[in-house]
Structure 1
Amino acid sequence: MFVKFLRLTMAFVFAMMTCLTTAQAQDIGLLNDIKPPQQSAEYIYRSSPKESMINVQLLGAVGRPGIYYIPANTDLLKLITLAGGTTSGGDLGEILVRKMEPKTWANLESKAINEYQGAFEIDAEKLIKYGGARNLKLQQDDFIYVPPRTSWVSNETARGITVVSMILSIALTAILIDNNSRK
């Protein structure tokens, strides 16, 4: 009786999982980690038509990634603000900036800045807390990347744990029903 119940339960669970449409699976959260690619675009920000503009590339976990045409005196935090800030998964503690002229930032002394052969890792959380963001002026063709936060458990591991716990719950429920039906 127990084996028959377990087989029926497993068949039911399998049938339910195969009958879900993609939209239904997204509604209940089965496909939350599958997202369409970000749409990149070009953005222009200026306060005066006579203002000289530079272009920089901003990619990664920001609201609006893309190529930005900004005033020449724009700093890093202002650019991220213009881009809509970071997404919920954006890591402000490890922003990467590749400068075409690294000498402009090479002499900056801050606990929030680490240099690696012309590339800079910026801890914007420390910049916000202790100041110094105005010294990080962007220049023509700078490349900025805001990485996503890395989670402790990957999506595949979390999905595997969920499936195993669901199967164990079904099996334990079947055992309890079988034990109680014998009494």
Structure 2
Amino acid sequence: MNIQKSLRLFVAFVFGLACTPAVHAQELGLLSDIKPPAQASEYIFRSSPKESLISVQLLGAVYKPGIYYVPANTELLKLLTLAGGTTNGGDLSEVLVRKTEPKSWSDLNMKALSEYQGAYEVDAEKIIKYGGGKNLKLGQDDFVYVPPRTPWISSEASRGITIVSIVLGIVLTAVLIDKNTGDK
């Protein structure tokens, strides 16, 4: 009888592990040594071969971060579009722009724009929704950063919840196996 319970518990444990996707293994840090290749690169966008270009750095949660060589006075939203938009975790409500010439944006009176010592926080979601992006022109050597969204649950809490759910799944599976195969 004791061997049967041990065997049932072992089957429940194996079943629980088999049902655990690889995502949980990554959350637990088991796949932490596998890293995606660096995606930063250089991109050149122009409409004509004689058009003069400026360089703008774009980093953060966008599909194609890197150094962009774009026509002078390219708008911020156009740059984000050229980068393929934000990744699933990108936060358009807090795009940071460090201007080399902060005066160019200091006169703008927009609710979607706040300034602090030459750096600007742009709520691109509001600009997309209500307009006004034509005034947000980029200049030579400007720096744009799209931050990742802040998760509702920290990664540590997520790991804890994952471990608890795996253990509960194994225990409940063992209980169900024991209940349904018990001697009657």
Q: Which amino acid aligns with 1:51?
A: E
**Distance change >3 Å, CA 11–CA 72, structure 1 → 2:** same
Deviating more after overlay: 123-132 vs 36-45: 36-45
Give, in angstroms, the shift of residue 50 of structure 1: 2.0
Give, in angstroms, the shift of residue 177 of structure 1: 4.4
Equivalent-residue separation in structure 2 for 1:57 and 1:101 (angstroms): 15
Partner of 1:12 in structure 2?
14
Equivalent-residue separation in structure 2 for 1:130 and 1:160 (angstroms): 41
Equivalent-residue separation in structure 2 for 1:85 and 1:118 (angstroms): 24
**Distance change >3 Å, CA 10–CA 151, structure 1 → 2:** same
Give, in angstroms, the shift of residue 6 of structure 1: 6.7
Equivalent-residue separation in structure 1 for 2:154 and 2:37 (angstroms): 19
Equivalent-residue separation in structure 2 for 1:31 and 1:85 (angstroms): 29
Alignment partner of 1:30 is 2:32: no
Give, in angstroms, the shift of residue 161 of structure 1: 1.2
Partner of 1:61 in structure 2?
61
Equivalent-residue separation in structure 1 for 2:160 and 2:81 (angstroms): 38
Equivalent-residue separation in structure 1 for 2:13 and 2:102 (angstroms): 62
Q: TM-score, normalised by structure 1?
A: 0.81
Give, in angstroms, the shift of residue 49 of structure 1: 2.0
Equivalent-residue separation in structure 2 for 1:41 and 1:179 (angstroms): 59
**Distance change >3 Å, CA 76–CA 174, structure 1 → 2:** same
Partner of 1:39 in structure 2?
39
Q: Which amino acid aligns with 1:8?
A: F
1:134 is paired with a residue whose SS is helix
Q: TM-score, normalised by structure 2?
A: 0.81
Equivalent-residue separation in structure 2 for 1:114 and 1:135 (angstroms): 14
- The percent identity for this pair of structures is 61
Aligned length: 174
5+ unaligned residues in a row in structure 1: which ranges?
A: 18-24
Q: Deviations over 1:71-119 (max 9, x none)?
A: 1021100111111111122111110000111111111111100111111
Partner of 2:84 in structure 1?
84
**Distance change >3 Å, CA 60–CA 173, structure 1 → 2:** same
5+ unaligned residues in a row in structure 2: which ranges?
A: none
Give, in angstroms, the shift of residue 31 of structure 1: 5.1
For the 8 Å contact 1:56–1:69, the answer to whether it is kept is yes
Alignment partner of 1:174 is 2:165: no
1:107-122 correspondence to structure 2 within 5 Å: 107-122=107-122
Deviating more after overlay: 171-180 vs 154-163: 171-180
Give, in angstroms, the shift of residue 148 of structure 1: 1.3
**Cα RMSD between the aligned structures?**
2.7
**Structure with more relative contact order (C-alpha pairs < 8 Å, separation 6 or more):** 2
Partner of 2:162 in structure 1?
162
Equivalent-residue separation in structure 2 for 1:120 and 1:76 (angstroms): 12
